[in-house]
Amino acid sequence: MNVSAEKSALRQGLAVGAATAAYGVSFGALAVASGLDIWQTCLLSILMFTGGSQFALVGVLASGGAASGGAAIASAALLGVRNTAYGMRMKPVVGGGFFRSIAAAWVTIDESTAVSLAQQDARAKRVGFWVTGLAVFVGWNLTTLIGALIGDVLGDTRAYGLDAAAGAAFLALLWPRLKRLQPVAVACGAAIVAGLLTPVVAPGLPVITAAIVAIVVGVFNWFSHAEAAS
């Protein structure tokens, strides 16, 4: 048993949980600005609990209202597909058991997967996964409530620029990944498509179309081949 590795995983998990929880304030305020009430906002964080999809959902609702509900759900679902891949990768780490699998599915997110995979020891991987997942879950839901209460008190949160929180959050998640030609090409292509379509199509559709473009470029892996050849 590598106690130092487990302690390191514990520290990393708690640190990531605290940092990620800060985004919950922005989400709570933005969700209220998009038309959800406090209870709907909190329930969304508890049941959906995947930050990117939550921001996508309320971001589309904020720009298109209730009429864009279908596009909002589709956008959130597209972003949530990645968690399926995380689940397959984390299955050997978490282990078997019905109730354990259900609990693990709830907290299989970007952060818990990343901290777990960063560990070398098998037990440390498990500690990293559970500590990070639970820390983010508790912190995210607490700060979501705080953000929703703040947004409810402030009224129109767009007057304070909080309607830009979704875009800022996505940019913060994307920026560290822009280190090679392929992800840069995917990001630029998706951004151009979304920018061109935003003025002419219904809210939510530019996000869906841009996601499809990103998937196509990613599947064919065109720019990775070009980078390898050079």
DSSP H or E stretch at residue 186: helix 181-197
DSSP strand E in 11-109: where? none
Domain end marker among 112, 140, 166: 166
Q: Which of 46, 53, 229, 216 is nearest to 142 (CA)?
A: 46
User: In the predicted model, what is the mean pLDDT of the chain?
Assistant: 79
Considering the domain architecture, whether residues 33 and 8 belong to the same structural domain is answered as: yes
* Domain match, 183 and 208 both: yes
Nearest to 157 by CA among 1, 50, 32: 32
Residues 6 or more apart whose CB falls under 8 angstroms from that of 203 comprise 60, 63, 64, 68, 71
pLDDT band at 69 (very low <50, low <70, confident <90, very high): low
Quote the domain boundaries for residue 229.
178-230
Residues 73-129 have pLDDT tens digits of 777 777 777 788 888 888 888 877 888 888 898 899 888 888 898 888 888 999 999
Is residue 172 situated within a structural domain? no
Number of structural domains (the chain) is: 2
Note whether residue 63 is domain-resident.
Answer: yes
Same domain, 144 and 229: no
Dump pLDDT digits (tens) for 167-206.
665 666 566 667 777 778 778 888 888 788 777 776 667 7
Identify the sign of the CA torsion 199, 204, 209, 215. positive
pLDDT at 197: 79
Number of residues assigned to the chain: 230
pTM listed for this prediction? 0.72
Cα–Cα dist 147/151, whole Å: 6
Q: Report CA 51 to chain centroid distance, whole Å.
A: 4
What pLDDT is attached to residue 146?
A: 93
Distance of CA 208 to the CA centre of its chain: 16
